């Protein structure tokens, strides 16, 4: 049963088997914030190619952050909310603060999905 890459990224799954968990804990568990596991618990994929491999995901989180900001702005337009420039800026900042842990997690997930290829048969091979 193949799972889509969108599912895998949004639900923070292993990029190779799309089954195993990618993070040590939930993104909103702040003590363990966005800690990537060493290996996939299902297919044993090593999640890190080199030390500080996930530093590059910072660039991805920029893009995701901007996407969230644009989404908030578009929503205020759709709902016809007239907050004025300061109000819109405030709502964007609040939205970014609320979604920040998830943005960080998704960015690492996107980053990993760039580098590792999906192998739908990996779990069958290992068995
Ligand atoms: Zn896996």
Q: How far apart are CA 74 and CA 78, in angstroms?
A: 6
Task: Indicate the SS3 state at residue 13.
Answer: strand
The neighbourhood of ligand 1, an ion, using CB within 5 A, equals 14, 16-17, 20, 40, 42-43, 45
Q: CA 119, 1, 116: angle at the middle one, nearest 5?
A: 20
Q: Are 73 and 23 in contact (CB under 8 A)?
A: no
pTM of the model: 0.89
- Distance, in Å, from the CA atom of 123 to the CA atom of 114, rounded to the nearest integer, reads 20
The whole-number pLDDT of residue 125 equals 66
* Residue 34: pLDDT band with limits 50, 70, 90: confident
Q: What separation in Å is there between the alpha carbon of 62 and the centre of ligand 1?
A: 26
Q: What is the whole-number distance in angstroms between the Cα of residue 60 and the centre of ligand 1?
A: 22
| Ligand 1 center from residue 51 Cα (angstroms) | 20
Tell me the per-residue pLDDT of 85-117, one tens digit each, with 9 for 90 and over: 999 999 999 999 999 999 999 999 999 999 999
Residue with tokens 């995901």: 57
- State the total domains in the chain: 1
* Range of the structural domain that residue 42 is part of: 5-126
Ligand 1 centre distance from Cα of residue 101 (Å): 22
């Amino acid at each position: 049963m193949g799972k889509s890459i969108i599912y895998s990224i949004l639900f923070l799954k292993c990029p190779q088997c799309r089954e195993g968990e990618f993070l040590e804990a939930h993104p909103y568990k702040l003590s363990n914030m966005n800690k990537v596991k060493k290996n996939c618990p299902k297919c044993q994929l090593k999640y890190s190619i080199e030390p500080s491999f996930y530093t590059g995901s910072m660039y991805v989180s920029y893009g995701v952050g901007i996407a969230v900001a644009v989404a908030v702005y578009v929503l205020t337009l759709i709902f016809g909310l007239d907050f004025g420039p300061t109000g819109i800026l405030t709502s964007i900042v609040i939205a970014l603060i609320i979604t920040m842990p998830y943005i960080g997690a998704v960015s690492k997930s996107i980053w990993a999905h760039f580098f590792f290829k999906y192998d739908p048969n990996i779990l069958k091979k290992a068995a």
